[in-house]
Amino acid sequence: METTDLEAFLSRAKALCVLTGSGISQESGIPTFRGNDGLWKQYRAEVLATPGAFARDPKLVWEWYAWRREIIHRAQPNAAHQALVELEAEFSARPGGRFALLTQNVDGLHERAGTGNLIRLHGDIWRLRCTGCGAERQDYSVPLDRLPPHCSFCFSLLRPAVVWFGESLPQEEWARAADVSASADLFLVIGTSALVQPAASLPLLAKQNGGLLIEINPAPTPLSGLADLAIRGKAAEVLGGLSSRIPDA
């Protein structure tokens, strides 16, 4: 029943904004952070995902990111990632239609699935940044040839170009994300515990500006009570084959 409502909401919307979290990649075999098997259950975030941790022990932090890169390297985008690619095409073809995908994920699965208009709020695990000269480059090597990696220009340490706890989100991405959230008439939140700011405030921005909110998550979150439709389900199960089920606008 609930997914029929989802299709009805989607058929009537013009400006769709989607926010994803690690839950959308869970069915691809990538662990989430706070679930029962989550990364933060096995590791302490402040030991691995902060500037201080990296300053204290860059090799340990890089061993953890190299391990995550290997898991992600073996993973494939799932039916939920694919459904968002199809929704992007559907909304881009719709008269007055707009689509934006905001992700907290750094795994690159939305890009591999083919999403075009993607705003990465927390960076990219496949991008390295020099702590000395600031040079950045994509690096998909698995395994990395040496840990921790060093800059080939200035020989300083390279770090993952991701946002760590205590760091600000990239300003340009945040400004774009706030803009598309405030102007969305339908906001779809998929696979996030909605506990980490400021990303978790984006759905509220949509609601405050009259947008409708739909949540897809097997478990309740702080957003569930605000959702116009809360679908208790797994992303790939709920979204698989969706675009073929959306009635013509």
Active site residues: 122
Binders of ligand APR: how many residues, by CB under 6 A?
24
Among positions 13, 15, 27, 109, the unique one binding ligand APR when judged by CB under 6 A: 27
Segment near ligand APR (CB under 6 A); pick from 18-26, 128-136, 147-155, 202-210:
18-26
Nearest-approach distance from CB 232 to ligand APR, in angstroms:
10
Nearest-approach distance from CB 210 to ligand APR, in angstroms:
25
Give Cα separations from 130 to 7, 41, 64, 99 (angstroms).
Answer: 45, 30, 18, 33
CB under 8 Å to 39, separation ≥6 — which residues?
31, 32, 33, 68
Nearest-approach distance from CB 56 to ligand APR, in angstroms:
19
154 closest CA partner among 173, 127, 135? 135
Within 90-129, the residues that bind ligand APR by CB under 6 A are 104, 122
SS3 19: strand
Return d(Cα 140, Cα 207) in angstroms, integer: 38
Buried b (16+ CB within 10 A) or exposed e, 63-102: ebbbebbeebeebebbbbbbbbbbbbebbeebeeebbbbb
Segment near ligand APR (CB under 6 A); pick from 21-29, 85-93, 135-143, 203-211:
21-29
Nearest-approach distance from CB 218 to ligand APR, in angstroms:
5
Q: Which spans of this chain sit near ligand APR (rule: CB under 6 A)?
A: 21-23, 26-27, 32-35, 38, 104, 122, 191-193, 195-196, 216-219, 221, 234-235
